[in-house]
Each structure stands twice: as C-alpha cells, then as structure tokens.
Chain A
Amino acid sequence: MVTLEHYLVLSALLFSLGMVGVMFRRNLIVILMSLELMLNAVNLSFVAFSRYLGSIEGQIFVLFVMVVAAAEVAVGLAIAVAVFRQRGTINVNDISLLKW
C-alpha cells in the first residue's frame, strides 16, 4: 500500500536535489533546470495531497504552477541568451555585477 508519506518523501528528496543544483552549479542553464526540478517536486506533493484528501483543488494549483514555470523558463532562457551575447559566458561566477 502506497501512502501519502511515500509521495511526500519522494517530493522532499527531489526538492533537495533541485536545491543542490541551484546552489552549487555554475551553469545558468543547469540552474534553471534545477529550479524546474524543485517546482516539479512541489507539483508532485500537490497532486498527492489532492488524491489523498479527495479534493480536486491540488491539481488545479498544479496547473497554475505549470503556467508560472513555463513563463519563468521562457524569460529565464531569453535572459541567458542575452547575457551570453553580451558577456560570452553563462557562468554565474562571471556575471556578478549586481552582487554586493
């Protein structure tokens, strides 16, 4: 019997993996991908809650999360391309103009 806890544990592991990617990779594209991974982990727990609470609302929120994720990826990748044109690199260590 698969319980809600199984899905939440899987979701937590996926989220933590995504966080590792965001914090410790230097490639802007891989960072964006790890962000997607974190969003998907949250989606998984939304759907699991929706199933085990017997309510459809969780799945609707997943739809909205997908909309926001798609918008974020499109704009993020456009920024990556623009940065690469300007600086010739997508290493986030080299793009630290706004860092204090």
Chain B
Amino acid sequence: METILFYVLAAVTLLSAIFVVFLRRPVHNVLFMILTMIGLATLFILLQAEFLAMVQIIVYAGAVMVLFLFVIMLLNLEEVSLPKEPRPLRWGFGIILSLALVVILFPVFGRFVPSIVGTGQPEGIVGNVSNMELIAKELFTTYLLPFEVASVLLLVAIIGTVVIGRKFTKD
C-alpha cells in the first residue's frame, strides 16, 4: 500500500515539476508548482512529518505561490514581451547536463544508503509523543538561537521588500 502510494505521489510530483520547468506561460508554471507542492506535502505525510506537511501547504501552496501569481498579474506580461526561450540546441545541451547531474548524484547515494539503512528500523515517532511536540521541544531548546535569528531574517526580508518594491519618485 505504502509503495503504491509512494509511486503515484512521486509520479504526480515529478510530472508537475517537469511542467513547471518546460511550459511556456508563467501562469501555468505557477499552477503546476502548486501541484508539486501538494505532492511534496503528501510525501511528507507518508514520511510521518505531519507538521511539515501542513507548513508546506500553508506557506508554499498558500503564500509563496500566491505571491508569484500576484506578481505575474501585476506585471501583466504581453504575449509579445514574453522572453523568447533559447534554441533547441541549447535545450538539448541543458538536458544532457542535467542528466549528467542525475548520474553524478546517484552513485553518491548508492555509497551512502546501505550503511544508513543498516543502522536499524526507522523510529520516527517515539511513544505517543506527536511529531509537532518533538519539533517544538527541539526548536525551543537546542535550536532557540537559530529560531530567533530566523525571525530577524524575516523582518529584514520584509523591510527589504518594502524598500525595493517602493515606487521611486524623482524630484
């Protein structure tokens, strides 16, 4: 059951990721990106990371992708002004290059994986402590400083966005 579910979800995620990269219109890219995010969120649930699955849907599918959509609407790109995509030769070159990357990444995994899987059964959730509780405990004890720094980073991003996005008035 889990295996079938994994393959279906992986197929959906991969296909929509392919559409994200290869479709020409930005709005279609965004819509397929949302599908990719939802697929990843369900994969997270399969991996017993329920909290992250929820965050993934709320933050990515809910906020980030809406931001993308909003900017695309705001720019109101004409069909003529859509960037011309590079020639087929360059596409072929790119696809070969990325396949090479896949080949490079695979043997690395092959070396790592057996030793890790050999260390024992996946534990995931210990006892009746929920995933969210575990994350919260770690986040507010061991990783408290990075957590606070992350909030500062978000504040900086907000201010930066406002400053950059402001309309400059020449006087």
Contact = CB atoms under 8 A, between A and B. Distances in A.
Interface size class of B (residues with CB under 8 A): 35 or more
Interface in B107-152: 109-110, 113, 116-117, 119-124, 131, 134-135, 138-139, 143, 146, 150
Interface in A17-31: 17-21, 23-27, 29-30
B37 to A, nearest CB: 7
Contacts of A33: 20, 29-30, 33, 68
Query: Which DSSP category, helix, strand, loop or mixed, fits chain A's interface?
Result: helix
Given A51-B47, A67-B150, A75-B161, A60 B117 contact: no
Contacts, number: 224
A59 B59 CA distance: 15
Contact of B26 (A18, A27, A60, A70): A27
A56 B157 contact: no
Interface string A30-72: 1011101100100110011111111011011011101111111
A71 B40 contact: no
Interface size class of A (residues with CB under 8 A): 35 or more
A3 interface: yes
Contacts of B26: 27, 29-30
A82 B75 CA distance: 10
A19 B113 CA distance: 24
A24 to B, nearest CB: 4
Interface of B: 2-3, 6, 10, 13-14, 17-18, 20-21, 26, 29-30, 33, 36-37, 40, 43-44, 46-49, 51-52, 55-56, 59-60, 63-64, 67-68, 71-72, 74-75, 77, 81-86, 90-91, 94-95, 97-99, 101-102, 105-106, 109-110, 113, 116-117, 119-124, 131, 134-135, 138-139, 143, 146, 150, 153-154, 156-158, 160-161, 164-165, 167
The 8 closest A-B pairs by CB, nearest first: A54-B123, A71-B157, A91-B83, A26-B83, A24-B94, A21-B21, A12-B105, A78-B164
